[in-house]
Amino acid sequence: MATPKPKPQDGFSSPHWTPELVSELKSAARNGNVGSRLVSESDRARVWLIEMQPGERLPFHTHVLDYFWVATSRGQARSRYADGKVAEVSYDVGDTKHFHFGAGESMTHDLENIGDTVLTFTTVEYLDEGKEPLL
């Protein structure tokens, strides 16, 4: 199961926030690329694959649709969130997490592979809930 490691909550002043990352975050509100590659789309769902080599990062993006992800490899990642929070998580194959967003709710974050293995996920967004997906 994905295990978060507590980190100090010092907002954007932590060493994990560079001026470039803060700038990227500011323009991420309309970035709906929630994976490395969109591999399938129907009227009900979009399926994304994420594959990151050690040290690679998925840029800031925003989730507005209900979705879930499944880890398909073991590894470690760091995510930075729009509220300044930074979380580091260890993943095992099969770890899964579901997200629900009410009207007007969203989540913006990035994902960085901080381990020494290739980190992979499958993410499925639900399109049949009346919300407009981001591009």
pLDDT digits (tens, 9 = 90+) for 42-65: 999 999 999 999 999 999 999 999
What's the order of all strands across the beta sheet hosting 107-113? 3-5, 86-91, 75-80, 107-113, 57-63
Give Rg (Cα) of the chain: 14
Note whether residue 95 is domain-resident.
yes
Note whether residue 106 is domain-resident.
yes
pLDDT digits (tens, 9 = 90+) for 88-129: 999 999 999 999 999 889 999 999 999 999 999 999 999 977
Note whether residue 132 is domain-resident.
no
Q: Cβ distance 129 to 67 under 8 Å?
A: no
Structural domain harbouring 18 = 3-126
pLDDT score at 6: 42
Note whether residue 135 is domain-resident.
no
Note whether residue 47 is domain-resident.
yes
Number of structural domains the chain divides into = 1
Note whether residue 22 is domain-resident.
yes
**Residue 94 is part of a domain; what is its CATH number?**
2.60.120.10
